[in-house]
Amino acid sequence: SVTEQILSSTSSGDADVNDCTLQPTIHDLPFGGVGNSGMGKYHGEWGFRAYSNARGVLSHSTKIDIGGLRYPPYDHNRILREIVMPS
């Protein structure tokens, strides 16, 4: 369609098809420009992500067993033993 051709050949932060400036009123849509242009994508979850720093934290998981080679000291016999008879 013409709409798909225009959207795929242009760069914009938002697009409003057959309407006028409705997207800023919809909380679940990101709103803003591309790159340094515009206000940024600060609505709803998009705003939360923009101002947050996702961080993975593992706190003593006993559900993951990666074998006896998890901690040193490592020597030839220990490595061979773990390969032949993993814990």
The structure tokens listed for 27 are 């909380």
| Separation CA 35–CA 32 (nearest Å) | 9
* pTM of the shown model: 0.41
Measured CA distances, 13 to 7, 20, 82 (Å) = 11, 15, 54
- Give per-residue pLDDT as tens, 7-47: 999 888 788 888 777 777 777 777 777 777 666 667 777 77
Give the gyration radius of the chain's Cα atoms. Answer: 26
Task: Please report where in the chains the tokens 């369609």 appear, as a residue.
Answer: 1
Cα distance between the two ends of the chain: 60
